[in-house]
Structures are given as structure tokens and as C-alpha cells.
């Protein structure tokens, strides 16, 4: 492959973008025929998850004012840092497309600093995420099987370990799809189910009304140290609800680009559509959840636990209930929540994980400063 400099007349005439030759056979970047719709599906699927269900817990510490302010600022900062990553994907100096998060970190900070800032947290988060996904996915398959069979199946059902093997085998088969664009439909299903369970939970809570005797006074610890850690924990809950930074570059890498039609334009359109829908899920969950349950919302489980604990009998005619492993829950909520919320991660399990997204709320800003070197009070 021949590389041309950005200022080269040949490059300008042919509208070439410098590509790493290894990307031609990597599964994520093998196909570059993505569009704004694919970007929206993937971004939405990677940007919302079960962390949103515990947002009302943060409000019990922060209260109405600081809770709404913190959530709003976190959302704005998320969009801002995503915008920076979208703009940093292709270098205006060399034409190189940075299709991996670690690659962009390496270009900004160098290999040694990248190992500490990005490589180390990515590795241990990846291990934990893979184990968690296998447990949740296998449990969902087992729950789905038990629900359909109704306990009347004469065949001996698989054991828990066997469900782990079944789910792992299914993910291995799914990973054989040629590239990220080939699972755009899977991401669409994941995005729909994510919006579905979030909307279903806050709508049911709103329809059932506020709990009697609910209080919205912020919870205060007995000592100053406890109060400080409670506030930090609340801020961590809000930050953890915003994620997906490390996948933006890989999603953007599936889109074609040239000097006349830069890929960052459709990518940013997809991001804006996706995060409009994310906001329509996060803010109602946090506000309605805190309004309905106040300080009574369980710290462990958040909205899902509260929905069953306070409205289990009232909503049983709308949502069937089961009680596997002594943990009562709504079967349809579980099917949406645990079965379809994160299919994009199946394809990306050998790459970065979204959980680092909360930690990148500031790292992408430093990468922008390091690469772009903007002047103080000067143009971008």
C-alpha cells in the first residue's frame, strides 16, 4: 500500500485517506460501508445499559437540585468528549485514521504513558466484563427456557454450568460474522430492547404514582467522612451511567471517508440521534424514579428492585412475575434487560469495553489538547 502526505497533489486528486494495512483483515474495520444509521444503532447500543437503573440512588444523596445539575452536566460533558473523539479519529496532518482507542492514546501520550492510562484499565475491565456477560447471558437463557417450559418440560434441563457453555458457544458463533457492519441488525435489536426496558420501568413507576410517606430530603451520613464518601459515590453512579467512549472510534472506523465527504459528519449525526434517545431514557429514569420512591429506593438494584418491592402485586396483571433463585422479578423486564441490552459487546469482546467510558470523560479532552495543541483563546 502506498501512503501519500496530506499536502500531496496526488492525494488531493485521488481523495485518499491513509489506512493501516492491517485493518483490511481485522473484523471491525474490514468493512467500511457504514452510514449514519449504523452509527446510531451501534452508539445507542453501547451508550445505554443497566447502570441507568441506579441513577435515582445518586439523587437520594445529591437531592433534586444537585442531582439534576450533575446529571445534566454529565450528559453535556459526555457529548462534548464524544465530539472530540469523532474529530480526532482522522489526523489532518498525516491522514491516518485512528480506529482503536489505544492507537489514539498512543499517538497522544506515547507508548509508555498509554500503558498506564489506557492499557491497564482496559485489560482488567475486559476480564471482568467478559465474566459478567457470560453469567448474565447464561442466566437469561436459563430464565427464558424456564419461562417457556413453565416447569412442565419432561426433558432434563441444562445445569447452570451447561448454560454457561451454551451461551459462550453462541457468542463464539456470532463472533464469526465478518465485520461490525454485519451485526448492525443485532445492535438495532439491542438498542430497541434497551429503550424498551428503560421506558417500561419509568412508565410503570409513574403510572403507579408516588409512594405514601416518600421523602425527598437528601440522606446525610452520621460523620463528615461518611458524607464525603456518599457524595463521591453518588457522583460515581452518575459518571458510570455515561459510557461508550472507547467504541466510538471503532464504530467510526466502519465508515468511508474522503476529503469531499468526511466521515465525521454522518458519524456525528448518528451520535446526536443516539444520545437524544439516551437522554430520553436516562432523565426520566432518574427523575421519575426519585419522585416515585425518594429515599425508599433500594441502593442495591435501583429501579428494578423498587418496581417489584413496591408494585409487584399491583403490576402483576400487566407484567408476569417469576421467582428464580429466590430473586423475584418481572420476566419481560428480565428478557429485555438481560437478554438484549448489550449484544454489541459480543462482537467487541476481544477489544475495548464500554466500562472504561466513565473514566474517559476527561482523558479524551487531554488527548485533544496533546494532539491539536490549540492556542489559548485561539480558534479550535
How many Å apart are CA 27 and CA 31, to the nearest integer? 8
Pairing of strands 329-330, 321-322: antiparallel
Does residue 275 fall inside a structural domain?
yes
> Can you give the pLDDT at residue 22?
56
Flag whether 1 is in a domain. Answer: no
Write out the three cell numbers for 190: 439491542
Burial of 258 (0-12, 13-18, 19+ CB in 10 A): exposed
Residue 339: which residues within 8 A CB-CB, separation 6 or more? 137, 140, 141, 144, 193
CA dist list (Å): 233 to 55, 283, 353 = 11, 19, 22
The three cell numbers of residue 78 are 459526555
Q: List per-block mean pLDDT (blocks of 10 residues) for the chain, which spans 380 residues.
A: 38 43 58 78 83 90 93 92 87 75 84 83 77 83 79 75 91 79 79 88 89 86 88 88 79 76 84 92 93 87 81 52 35 37 37 44 77 71
2 belongs to a structural domain:
no
Q: For residue 165, what is the domain's CATH number?
A: 1.20.1740
Q: Is residue 3 part of a domain?
A: no
Q: Is 379 inside a domain boundary?
A: no
- What whole-number distance in Å separates Cα of residue 280 and Cα of residue 94? 39
Longest dimension (CA), the chain: 73
Give the chain's domain count. 1
| Range of the structural domain that residue 289 is part of | 9-371
pLDDT value of position 90: 78
The span from the CA of 237 to the CA of 50, in Å, is 12
Whole-model pTM: value is 0.74
Assess contact for 341 and 197: CB atoms under 8 A: yes
Residue 193: inside a domain = yes
Amino acid at each position: 500500500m502506498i501512503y501519500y502526505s496530506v499536502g500531496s497533489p496526488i492525494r488531493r486528486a485521488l481523495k485518499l485517506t491513509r489506512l493501516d494495512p492491517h485493518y483490511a483483515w481485522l473484523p471491525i474495520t474490514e468493512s467500511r460501508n457504514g452510514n449514519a444509521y449504523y452509527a446510531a444503532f451501534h452508539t445507542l447500543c453501547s451508550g445505554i445499559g443497566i447502570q441507568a437503573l441506579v441513577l435515582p440512588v445518586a439523587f437520594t444523596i445529591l437531592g433534586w437540585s444537585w442531582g439534576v445539575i450533575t446529571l445534566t452536566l454529565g450528559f453535556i460533558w459526555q457529548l462534548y468528549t464524544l465530539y472530540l473523539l469523532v474529530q480526532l479519529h482522522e489526523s489532518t496532518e498525516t491522514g491516518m485514521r485512528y480506529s482503536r482507542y489505544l492507537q489514539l492514546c498512543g499517538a497522544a501520550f506515547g507508548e509508555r504513558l498509554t500503558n498506564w492510562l489506557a492499557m491497564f484499565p482496559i485489560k482488567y475491565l475486559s476480564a471482568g466484563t467478559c465474566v459478567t456477560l457470560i453469567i448474565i447471558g447464561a442466566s437469561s437463557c436459563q430464565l427464558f427456557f424456564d419461562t417457556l417450559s413453565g416447569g412442565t418440560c419432561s426433558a432434563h434441563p441444562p445445569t447452570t454450568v451447561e448454560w454457561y457453555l451454551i451461551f459462550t458457544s453462541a457468542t463464539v458463533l456470532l463472533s464469526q460474522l465478518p465485520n461490525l457492519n454485519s451485526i448492525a441488525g443485532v445492535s438495532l435489536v439491542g438498542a430497541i430492547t434497551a429503550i424498551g426496558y428503560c421506558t417500561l420501568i419509568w412508565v410503570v413507576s409513574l403510572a403507579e404514582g408516588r409512594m405514601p410517606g416518600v421523602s425527598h430530603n437528601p440522606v446525610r451520613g452520621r460523620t463528615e467522612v461518611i458524607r464525603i464518601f456518599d457524595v463521591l459515590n453518588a457522583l460515581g453512579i452518575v459518571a458510570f451511567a455515561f459510557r461508550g467512549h472507547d467504541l466510538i472510534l471503532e464504530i467510526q472506523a466502519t465508515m468511508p471517508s474522503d476529503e469531499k465527504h468526511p466521515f465525521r459528519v454522518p458519524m456525528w449525526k448518528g451520535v446526536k440521534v443516539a444520545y437524544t434517545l439516551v437522554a430520553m431514557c436516562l432523565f426520566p429514569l432518574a427523575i421519575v424514579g426519585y419522585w416515585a420512591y425518594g429515599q425508599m429506593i433500594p441502593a442495591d438494584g435501583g429501579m428494578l428492585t423498587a418496581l417489584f418491592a413496591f408494585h409487584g402485586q399491583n403490576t402483576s396483571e400487566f407484567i408476569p412475575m417469576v421467582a428464580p433463585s429466590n430473586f423475584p422479578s418481572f420476566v419481560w423486564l428480565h428478557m429485555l434487560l438481560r437478554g438484549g441490552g448489550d449484544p454489541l459487546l459480543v462482537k467487541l469482546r476481544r477489544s475495548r469495553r464500554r466500562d472504561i467510558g466513565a473514566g474517559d470523560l476527561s482523558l479524551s479532552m487531554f488527548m485533544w489538547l496533546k494532539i491539536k495543541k490549540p492556542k489559548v483563546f485561539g480558534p479550535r
